[in-house]
Structure 1
Amino acid sequence: MIKTTRIMKQKIRLLALFLILTLMAHAQCTFRNTAFGNEEHLNYNLYYNWQFVWVKAGTALWSTVASTYHGTPAYKASLITRGNGRVDKYFVLRDTLLCYDSRQMAPLYYRKGAREGKRYTVDEVFYSYPGGKCRVKQHRIDNDGKHHWQEKTYNDCVFDMMSIFMRARSFNPESWKKGQTVNFPIVDGNSMHPAKIVYNGKTEVKADDGHKYRCLEMTYYENENGKKWRNIASFYVSDDQNHIPIRLDMRLKFGSAKAYLVSMKGINNPVTSKIK
């Protein structure tokens, strides 16, 4: 009996040590979440610019829910865009993005399946944190079906498109001035390159729910060749603790698109940005 008790105590100590090491390994890439709760759903209308005319192109749904990833408590975020038949003959838009972040906001997994025009590609990123470093296993499936794998380890944190946006929703911009820049490395299925978010000040935006909101305007840039920064998207997020995306302006390879908020559910904080 005494021997069994000792063995149990040793197992408990080893489990505690494992948990401590896991937390320490995630510590460098953690962040506080003040924006969203355990079940948030945001619906959008999509518009596509075709020959200088904006047409209704489809819908998008962003969901963030409490989940687990291989036994680790996590937030699961997904963005699903669906085009309609009206513009499919010109441009097919079928994107599905998924990510898991720990409850401490450390990236765990990312996937993007994108059908843009006639091309379909898949990107995956698997994160781990051995020895306090950030290791990523990257997977790309090309349009021709070929698989490409690579694995790299970084001393600093790296992020994918979804995880950095989730983190950015908890930034505190109260002291920011126009032009404030947040730099970070961005990864996808086969590359890592510099990216940044630039704060462009405050403005008012009318959503497709019929309301106006005070918003913070932020623009997301990527630098793929080490020379020129490319404007990827602008986000207009509510000027309150939720930082809800009210409008998104996206620069696509085949044109440009906009998304306007239609409805929201499961919001974590009072929506004080709504203009009555």
Structure 2
Amino acid sequence: MKILMFMLLGVLTQAQPMMKEKPVSKGEVLQFRLAYGWFTIGRGSFKVSDDYVMRDGKKCLKIDVEGKTAGLAGVFSRVDDRWGALIDSDSFLPYYSYRDLSEGDYELEEEVYFDYDSMHIQFEQESANEEQPRPTRYFDIEEEGVFDMMGGLMYARSIDYRKLNKGDTVQLDAFFDKKFYDFKMIYHGIEMIKSKVGEINCHKVVPIMEKNSVFVGRDAVTFWVSADANRLPLKVSANMKFGTAYCELTGYKNVKSGIDFQ
């Protein structure tokens, strides 16, 4: 479950041209199916706050994500993960993010604060499985523009892909779980895909993966975002050592353009 949620939230971008009219709207709700091969293993939701939250004089969006096991997966290991963030509604830079993980016998609580005056990140993490509390850690922000997972997804949806050519490379920068990530993503143009919400033209992007023990190949992960006013994250697929994993959109409401799909 955690890997699939990372797939969905991990396509992060920086320093690319954004659409003037942002595709994300207040109150937006997205529903996802998490699958491994033919089997549904989980369900997820992505919710944007109905109203802005003010932080440092700026309008911010509060985002909450939930991921739970479903089907046979729940028999073997029950997962109930919650993620969230408070991000600038214009730049999508984060002010605060959290994770509350419950995966079988494993539990973890995490809070991250982004301070742009002192240019550092305050990272707090606590596990119910450990007797001693983990110390607070601080990380320097070398330059303003580091995204968390939520802000990164919003930014990825807001890129003006019309200004990119097939084969162009996009830089990917993010902070997640005590680490700074520096990825690259290749734009593969527009592709029609069949999804649970219909046949839709999508912008196709492929992150270049470093060698790791989870994904197979440098181009193991593919991400599709709808080529319309909503820029919906339609699908993520990943080739893994024991098969192909998917995260796909199954429903939405309160989107920028069009009617709800439930």
> Could you say which structure has the larger radius of gyration?
1
Q: Which runs of 5+ in 1 are unaligned?
A: 1-27, 272-276
Give, as a single letter, the amino acid of the residue that structure 1 aligns with 2:89.
R
In the alignment, what sits opposite 1:19?
Answer: none
- State the 1:118 CA deviation: 5.4
In the alignment, what sits opposite 1:74?
Answer: 60
Q: Is contact 1:202–1:216 with CA below 8 Å preserved after alignment?
A: yes
Aligned counterpart in structure 1 of residue 113 of structure 2, from 122, 126, 140: 126
2:237 is equivalent to residue 237 of structure 1: no
Distance 1:90 1:238 in 2: 35
In the alignment, what sits opposite 2:97?
Answer: 110
Distance 2:147 2:22 in 1: 19
**CA offsets per residue over residues 129-159 of structure 1, 9 Å max, x none?**
116xx32112233573342421122231211
Where 1:39 maps in the other structure, the secondary structure is coil
2:189 is equivalent to residue 201 of structure 1: yes
Between 84-93 and 73-82, report the one with greater CA deviation. Answer: 84-93
Structure 2 length-normalised TM: 0.74
In the alignment, what sits opposite 2:139?
Answer: 152
| Cα distance change of structure 1 residues 59 and 149 upon mapping to structure 2, 3 Å threshold | same
Give, as a single letter, the amino acid of the residue that structure 1 aligns with 2:204.
E
In the alignment, what sits opposite 1:138?
Answer: 123
- Higher RCO, 1 vs 2 (CA within 8 Å, ≥6 residues apart): 2
Aligned length: 233
RMSD: 3.3
Distance 1:92 1:232 in 2: 27
Distance 1:251 1:92 in 2: 23
**CA offsets per residue over residues 73-128 of structure 1, 9 Å max, x none?**
31112221111242123454433221111222221111223445654434432111
Distance 1:88 1:100 in 2: 30
Structure with the larger helix share? 1
In the alignment, what sits opposite 2:48?
Answer: 64
Distance 2:127 2:21 in 1: 35
Distance 1:199 1:207 in 2: 20
Give, as a single letter, the amino acid of the residue that structure 2 aligns with 1:192.
F
- The structure 1 segments of at least 4 consecutive aligned residues displaced by more than 6 Å after TM superposition are 228-232, 251-255
Q: Is contact 1:158–1:184 with CA below 8 Å preserved after alignment?
A: no
Distance 2:76 2:97 in 1: 29
Aligned counterpart in structure 1 of residue 156 of structure 2, from 144, 154, 168: 168
